Chains A and B, each alone.
Chain A
Amino acid sequence: MRLFRSIATFLLPVLAVIAFQQDASAAGRGYYLTQATMAAYYVVVTLGLALLMGHAGQVSLGHGAFFALGGYTSAILTTRPLDLPPAAERTLSALGCVLRAEDAAGVPQLVVAPPAAFAAALLLTLAVALLVGYPTLRLRGYYLAMATLGFGLIVYRVLLGTPFTGAADGIHGVPGWSFGGAFTLCGRRDHRVANYYFAWGAALLTLLLLRNLIRSRFGRALAAIHDHETAAGAMGVNTAACKLQAFVVSALLAAAAGVFATHFNGGIGPSEAGALKSVRYVALVAAGGMGNLPGVLAASAGLTFLSLRDAFGTYDDAVFGAILIAVVTWAPQGPLEPLGRALRGLAAWRPARREAARRGAA
């Protein structure tokens, strides 16, 4: 049964990812892959948020800001020319920290290499997440939601009002991230299929790692805190530290997705940090069933893809608000939960019949 579920959790998404690419390419709709790639990066954000919301019982209303924090850090570092003495340039370039790249006008300039920028983005996010999470997660209740909401609003306004971050235009001309010639993380058309598989590989890897995490000592501690924080503390669980770890992991995933998406798009704008973006992530996690990671993956992949294809038109944000209200009202466990129950019931039905037959015979 457990094996069956593991197969269903990983084999089905892998097959779906391959089938989508095959279909889209065969139907001459290769451009679908661009939106599907972006959807995968948003899935990474929502999976991380599902760890926080569904397992640690905390809400972040600032995950858009963490996505933007990662994206902007990488965008700034990989586009702004550095002025280094030749010796420093030689050393750092040998370490792979800097490289010479052409800017939008084709002028070669010295910039931070994408892997180093990625590391810097994660370090900065780590520091910010600790700063926001540490004071609020020591308390009980939804202080994290308030703190992250405030943090998100600040990040959005700062990005929007600061010329250094490109103000309303954001940052453009972000170079691709070349993985040693074999693969380049970028939005060029001839790299579309590879980028699609890279993004979905990242999303499925996130699913796998988080699934392992919630089935461990750490996952049990989180579930214990979620069910009964007092009892968890009395059992020796450092509740504040566990909640903080879950929040940091979740923020780092959002930032990593932001870095990847920025290199893929070749830029990032302030709307990524907007409160509506953050609320959208919360709605997607709710639509997937909170802690139900495969459910969150399916719901957020489907809905973000439709949104990116402009299926909801001008009602885009309203649709996600409506989803949030509908889920909370009618299916707090997530709309996929009744479906899962039905499937489990179907699986249990056959052994139950056999059992009944055996009893009848005896």
Chain B
Amino acid sequence: MALLEIRGLRRRFGGLRALDGVALDVEAGCIQGIIGPNGAGKTTLFNVLSGLLPPSGGSVRLDGREIAGLPPHRIAARGLGRTFQTVCLFDRMSALENVMVGLHRRGRAGLAAAALRLPWQRAEERRLAAEAAEWLAFAGVADLADRPAAALSFGRRRLVELARALAARPRLLLLDEPASGLNPRETAELAAIVRRTRDRGVTVLLVEHDMSLVMDVCDRVLALHFGVPIAAGTPAEIQADPRVIAVYLGEEAGHAAG
């Protein structure tokens, strides 16, 4: 059984069919790429999977259990983590505190324990801080722990966000255009981190415009066009697929004409 099973997934915005019958199986331990021109429905797919948008129809099963339409925090509790295309860090917190929010579900302390600073609550805080520091180190940004998130460069913000998502120990991690805005050196760093993440047993779903990154790290690729899956296969198969080429060439031609 695949870790993630998407069947007939639909999402409409008024008359626009942003997702129109998306089906996909993602095997555990795989890096699955999702490509498509702008407006293909890639980010909508992520928003539906992570519960930010309810689907208009269809089914999403994570580990055999239906998650479509659950609120975001319940889906996160089932083991789905994500990053955002625009990088959504909590700007008033330090990098370390951001990652500690990723560890939210691993803490137990409630209001009373926190207000009274009970000994076990303080021990838990120390444990969470230590673990958050480890995840920053995993993403290669251990030195930024105490810096305010707002003061970090864009590339570093991406890595802190990745550490935050990983800290929740998801089984499935959705990365929404993680290389956008990164320079080639940072992109190479990111590719290495994505592979290390997979090697730790996390299955990765990657939406990306940077084709070289997709071809480099992905095991399987799905191509979407106007919310409809048009091709699926290995990166090599997708690169050679005439429908995919037509869609991308069409887009290029459209840009040239415009």
Q: Which of B51, B77, B115, B124 contacts A210, CB < 8 Å? A: B115
**Cross-chain contact A231 with B115 (CB below 8 angstroms):** no
**Cross-chain contact A235 with B164 (CB below 8 angstroms):** yes
8 Å CB contacts to A: which residues of B84-122?
84, 88-93, 97, 100-102, 104-105, 107, 109-111, 114-117, 121
Complex: A216 Cα to B114 Cα, angstroms: 6
**Cross-chain contact B88 with A230 (CB below 8 angstroms):** yes
A162 at interface by CB-CB < 8 Å = no
Answer whether A224 and B72 are a contact pair too, CB < 8 Å, given A218-B111, A235-B168.
Answer: no
On chain B, the residues within 8 Å of A163 by CB distance are none
**Cross-chain contact B101 with A237 (CB below 8 angstroms):** yes
B125 at interface by CB-CB < 8 Å = yes
Complex: A217 Cα to B113 Cα, angstroms: 10
**Cross-chain contact A237 with B115 (CB below 8 angstroms):** no
**Cross-chain contact A235 with B76 (CB below 8 angstroms):** yes
**Cross-chain contact B50 with A219 (CB below 8 angstroms):** no
**Size band of the B side of the interface?**
35 or more
Complex: A216 Cα to B123 Cα, angstroms: 12
B82 at interface by CB-CB < 8 Å = yes
A130 at interface by CB-CB < 8 Å = no
Q: Which of B77, B116, B128 contacts A212, CB < 8 Å? A: B116
Expressed in whole angstroms, the minimum distance between the Cβ of B34 and any Cβ of chain A is 18
8 Å CB contacts to A: which residues of B113-143?
114-117, 121, 124-125, 128
On chain B, the residues within 8 Å of A234 by CB distance are 50-52, 72, 76, 81-82, 84
**Cross-chain contact B115 with A209 (CB below 8 angstroms):** yes
Query: Interface code B51-64, partner A: CB below 8 Å = 1, 0 otherwise?
Result: 11000000000000
Expressed in whole angstroms, the minimum distance between the Cβ of A192 and any Cβ of chain B is 30
**Cross-chain contact A213 with B72 (CB below 8 angstroms):** no
Complex: A228 Cα to B102 Cα, angstroms: 13
**Cross-chain contact A235 with B114 (CB below 8 angstroms):** no
Which among A230, A233, A235, A238 has the highest number of chain B CB atoms within 10 Å?
A235
**Cross-chain contact A235 with B115 (CB below 8 angstroms):** no
On chain B, the residues within 8 Å of A209 by CB distance are 115-116
On chain A, the residues within 8 Å of B81 by CB distance are 234-235
Answer whether A217 and B109 are a contact pair too, CB < 8 Å, given A209-B116, A235-B104.
Answer: yes
Expressed in whole angstroms, the minimum distance between the Cβ of B205 and any Cβ of chain A is 14
Complex: A300 Cα to B163 Cα, angstroms: 41
Answer whether A233 and B52 are a contact pair too, CB < 8 Å, given A210-B115, A216-B109, A223-B92.
Answer: yes
**Cross-chain contact B115 with A232 (CB below 8 angstroms):** no
On chain B, the residues within 8 Å of A218 by CB distance are 109-111, 114
On chain B, the residues within 8 Å of A221 by CB distance are 101, 104
Complex: A228 Cα to B114 Cα, angstroms: 23
Q: Which chain A residue shows the least CB distance to B117?
A: A212
Number of A-B contacts (CB under 8 A): 97
A79 at interface by CB-CB < 8 Å = no
Complex: A228 Cα to B88 Cα, angstroms: 7
Complex: A117 Cα to B137 Cα, angstroms: 54
On chain B, the residues within 8 Å of A239 by CB distance are 73
A194 at interface by CB-CB < 8 Å = no
**Cross-chain contact B97 with A220 (CB below 8 angstroms):** yes
**Cross-chain contact B104 with A212 (CB below 8 angstroms):** no
**Cross-chain contact A212 with B115 (CB below 8 angstroms):** yes
**Cross-chain contact B90 with A219 (CB below 8 angstroms):** no
B71 at interface by CB-CB < 8 Å = yes
Expressed in whole angstroms, the minimum distance between the Cβ of B159 and any Cβ of chain A is 16
A165 at interface by CB-CB < 8 Å = no
On chain A, the residues within 8 Å of B101 by CB distance are 220-221, 224, 232, 235, 237
Q: Which of A210, A236, A249 contacts B73, CB < 8 Å? A: A236
**Cross-chain contact A212 with B90 (CB below 8 angstroms):** no
On chain A, the residues within 8 Å of B97 by CB distance are 220, 223
**Cross-chain contact A223 with B93 (CB below 8 angstroms):** yes
Q: Which chain A residue shows the least CB distance to B170?
A: A236
Q: Which chain B residue shows the least CB distance to A233?
A: B72
A245 at interface by CB-CB < 8 Å = yes
Q: Which chain A residue shows the least CB distance to B91?
A: A227
**Cross-chain contact B73 with A224 (CB below 8 angstroms):** no
Expressed in whole angstroms, the minimum distance between the Cβ of A54 and any Cβ of chain B is 11
**Cross-chain contact B88 with A216 (CB below 8 angstroms):** no
Query: Interface code A97-115, partner B: CB below 8 Å = 1, 0 otherwise?
Result: 0000000000000000000
On chain A, the residues within 8 Å of B116 by CB distance are 209, 212
Complex: A238 Cα to B107 Cα, angstroms: 13
Complex: A362 Cα to B15 Cα, angstroms: 69
**Cross-chain contact A220 with B93 (CB below 8 angstroms):** yes
Complex: A212 Cα to B104 Cα, angstroms: 17
On chain A, the residues within 8 Å of B89 by CB distance are 228, 231
**Cross-chain contact A236 with B91 (CB below 8 angstroms):** no
Complex: A95 Cα to B159 Cα, angstroms: 59
On chain A, the residues within 8 Å of B104 by CB distance are 217, 220-221, 235-237
On chain A, the residues within 8 Å of B92 by CB distance are 223, 226-227
Q: Enumerate 26 A-B pairs (CB-CB under 8 Å) in ascending A order.
A: A209-B116, A210-B115, A212-B114, A212-B117, A213-B114, A213-B115, A216-B121, A217-B107, A217-B124, A217-B128, A218-B109, A218-B110, A220-B104, A221-B101, A224-B90, A228-B90, A231-B90, A233-B52, A235-B101, A235-B104, A235-B165, A236-B76, A236-B104, A236-B105, A236-B168, A237-B73
Other contacts beyond A226-B92, A236-B73, A236-B77: 6, CB < 8 A:
A212-B116, A218-B110, A230-B52, A231-B88, A234-B72, A234-B84
Closest 4 CB pairs of A and B: A216-B114, A233-B72, A236-B76, A231-B88
